[in-house]
Structure 1
Amino acid sequence: MKKLITLASGAVLYSACTPSAFAQSTVTLYGVLDNGFVYQSSSGSNSAVRAVPGGLFATRYGFKGSEDIGDGLHVNFQLEQAFSGQTGAATNAAEAFNRLAYVGLSGGFGEVRFGLQNSPQYDVLQAAMDPTWVKSIASPMNNFNGLIIRANNAISWYTPTYGGLNAKFMIALRDSSSGGSGNGIGFYNVVVQYINGPLNVAAGYERGDEPGEGAGGSYTLAGGAAAGPGAVFSVFNAGASYVIGSNRIWLAYHTENLTNTPKYMQHDVYQISDSYQISPFSLLSVMYGYLHDRTGKGNNAQQVGLLFEYYLSKATELYTAAGFIQNRNQAQYTLSGTAYSGLTITPGSDTRGIGVGLVHKF
């Protein structure tokens, strides 16, 4: 107890006698817990009922903080780790903070960040593409699209907003310890966004060489594709939404190329969605997406998705997500949650699923 009192007294004396204003620093603990159940089946006679974490949100906890250092400048940091709400196990036990670990500065110039962080495509653009922010089994964009979600060794700049217009830039340096080769830039991403009242429009492009290896971080590739040494993965996304009464209408476009691998992918995805605010406590969203295979092999697919959210409080919601995918030829797209993979699908077979979950944010 004496040691504790001595440390506390020293901290008070130090704060009173130095220019560092501890009262102007803040650190926040936050997190999301999302657990539920899902039923999925396919025309290939494959079906399952599973308890799943992260049907709508990735379960995680984190720390974020900011220090006012004067002249309008702030030092910011964020640390974030994903884990299973079903077992409590870390998503990656080898990494203390596998989602975010960055420090940066913000001011009149916007914000710069250094370290492991989300790509602007994932952090910002997906929110402009559909009512789920491209999450859950209900979202065709989630099930059809690949994306480099986050990157190690990243440097980003988020500009200020001028007349509703802003931009976000990121590069990530290669890291040979992650399994890649060489040095220099292994990933880059740029996003431009315009928000004006009921209108939200955004577009962005990203490219990664040896995704998931040279720049580290994490990535997702739909349809069973795999990236490896020498792979080049590029994505262009665009989304727009507009509020009309109790509805918000969404349009989205995605195109991707995965080259220099045995199983390369080239496809476009088109999606239209509508979210309807039934009451202050409930929201219903309907989505339709079509995937066009540009390899000429006819591996097309389409999906209808439905998401119902009911808010028990500002921090807690119940949700039901459902989806149906029709695959063609050798297409084998499946219904995946935000933090879990769907069933393995026989090429050309249809799949359907429904899940329920409970989310609490703190």
Structure 2
Amino acid sequence: MKRFITFASGAVLTCASVPSAFAQSSVTLYGVLDNGFVYQNAGGNNSAFKAVPGGLFSTRYGFKGSEDIGGGLHVNFQLEQAFSGQTGAATDPTKAFNRLAFVGMSGGFGEVRFGLQNSPQYDVLQAAMDPSWVKSIASPMNNFNALIIRANNGISYYTPTFGGLNAKFMVALRDGSASTGSGVGFYNVVLQYINGPLNVAAGYERGDEPSVGAGGSYSLAGGATPGPGAVLSVFNVGASYVIGSNRIWLAYHTENLTNTPKYMEHDVYQISDSYQVNPYALLSVMYGYLHDRTGKGNNAQELGLLFEYNLSKSTELYTAAAFLENKNKAAYTLSGTAYSGLAVTPGTNNRGIGVGLVHKF
């Protein structure tokens, strides 16, 4: 259960003439712990059974708060750090908060944020693309896609929702420490429409030198490594619709990671179904196909299965399983949300199964 620490200004001020604009503020401590085991085989003797953190959710803790400053305006902040639930070590020990560190304001105009933050594609759009929200070894989108997850020096604006439609915009400025100097290093826009059982979202992002220029963190699949001057461009669209106890999902992803020569250029198509077995159990099946647009025939496909069982409102058990087929020189692997899969010999198929326990507080 989330623990709320509430500070009421009126309780500590004794002067009756204090303006009423000093309103109530709150700070929330929260977190997620996800630990488990995974077995993966990538052909022959290339197999492993190991304990892993973050098979479905990234383990982290954080603080978020909001102050009501009157007139319908709120000042908001969020700080978040990722760490290993297996060892307790920070994912990036050089940073006090390596996932989120932003402050902003919200009101009738929407919301603005400044600082280290998730890209709208990662924060919002992925929830519209498949039942796992593009997480775990069971999600083809997780194993095939590149994405700039979050960026330093971010400036974002989230519009209010009008008739089910909303938009989210973000740019990230270089701070002069990267080789590309100043200016905009990354931008992202997402549009979303929600109406009853229908959820549709689409977004485009572009980042120069995703490993350096945009800062924050990024995710690349298939062994690609961006070099100086690399540009990552990504377009995603996802839609889902509820039919009885099922939600049907369709998703499309296209990307270009360019330099000299091109590192990656492909499309990914995915269809999924999630079935609510009972109030506590959810079974999801996902199939994805990757088409290599470089003409080299480095295609791939994956079938994934995810079963989630809620022990309570805060705790769940899960099992994720997948089979991934690589064609020609494709070398995609099965990665968890917070860990990398086995290195794969090009053209080798791989399979895996993992179990885990998640607790949210």
Indicate the TM-score class for this superposition, using the shorter chain for normalisation: over 0.9
Distance 2:88 2:22 in 1: 34
Counterparts of residues 176-215 of structure 1 (less than 5 Å):
176-177=176-177, 179-215=178-214
**Aligned residue identity for 2:208:** D
What corresponds to 1:302 in structure 2? 301
Distance 2:20 2:61 in 1: 28
- 8 Å CA contact 1:275–1:284 kept in 2: the answer is yes
What corresponds to 1:352 in structure 2? 351
- Give yes or no for the alignment of 1:58 onto 2:58: yes
- 8 Å CA contact 2:41–2:48 kept in 1: the answer is yes
Secondary structure in 2 matching 1:248: strand
5+ long unaligned stretches in structure 1: 1-9
**Aligned residue identity for 1:206:** E
5+ long unaligned stretches in structure 2: 1-9
- 8 Å CA contact 1:44–1:349 kept in 2: the answer is no
Distance 2:133 2:11 in 1: 44
Deviations 1:151-188 (A, max 9, x none): 000000000000000000000001232x3322110000
Distance 2:15 2:85 in 1: 40
- 8 Å CA contact 1:157–1:169 kept in 2: the answer is yes
- Give yes or no for the alignment of 1:107 onto 2:104: no
Distance 2:309 2:27 in 1: 30
**Aligned residue identity for 1:183:** S
Secondary structure in 1 matching 2:93: coil
Distance 1:217 1:153, change over 3 A: same
**Aligned residue identity for 1:32:** V
Distance 1:267 1:25, change over 3 A: same
Distance 2:181 2:21 in 1: 43
Counterparts of residues 1-362 of structure 1 (less than 5 Å):
12-13=12-13, 18-19=18-19, 24-177=24-177, 179-262=178-261, 264-362=263-361
Distance 1:151 1:304, change over 3 A: same
Aligned length: 354
**Aligned residue identity for 1:36:** G
Please report the RMSD computed on the Cα atoms of aligned residues, expressed in angstroms.
Answer: 1.7
**Aligned residue identity for 1:205:** Y
What corresponds to 2:6 in structure 1? none
- 8 Å CA contact 1:116–1:217 kept in 2: the answer is yes
Secondary structure in 2 matching 1:176: coil
Q: What is the identity percentage for the equivalent residue pairs of Structure 1 and Structure 2? A: 83
**Aligned residue identity for 2:150:** R
What corresponds to 2:4 in structure 1? none
After TM superposition, the runs of 4+ consecutive aligned structure 1 residues lying more than 2 A away are: 13-23
What corresponds to 2:5 in structure 1? none
Distance 1:263 1:40, change over 3 A: farther
Displacement of 1:229 in angstroms is 1.2
- 8 Å CA contact 1:25–1:66 kept in 2: the answer is yes
Displacement of 1:297 in angstroms is 0.3
Secondary structure in 2 matching 1:141: helix
Distance 2:29 2:14 in 1: 25
Deviations 1:275-323 (A, max 9, x none): 0000000000000000000000000000000000000000000000001
**Aligned residue identity for 1:264:** Y
- 8 Å CA contact 1:308–1:320 kept in 2: the answer is yes
What corresponds to 1:6 in structure 2? none
- 8 Å CA contact 1:227–1:261 kept in 2: the answer is no
Distance 1:156 1:58 in 2: 23
- Per the normalisation by structure 2, the TM-score is 0.95
Displacement of 1:255 in angstroms is 0.2
What corresponds to 1:5 in structure 2? none
**Aligned residue identity for 1:304:** L
Distance 1:302 1:253 in 2: 14
**Aligned residue identity for 1:311:** N
**Aligned residue identity for 1:182:** G
Distance 2:341 2:16 in 1: 57
Query: Greater CA deviation, 262-271 or 57-66?
Result: 262-271
- 8 Å CA contact 1:149–1:219 kept in 2: the answer is yes
**Aligned residue identity for 1:35:** N
- 8 Å CA contact 2:40–2:48 kept in 1: the answer is yes
- 8 Å CA contact 2:23–2:67 kept in 1: the answer is no
Displacement of 1:21 in angstroms is 6.3
Distance 1:244 1:183 in 2: 49
Distance 2:336 2:243 in 1: 29
Distance 1:324 1:15 in 2: 67
Secondary structure in 2 matching 1:122: helix
Deviations 1:135-162 (A, max 9, x none): 0000000000000000000000000000
Whichever structure has more helix as a proportion of its residues is 1
**Aligned residue identity for 1:186:** G
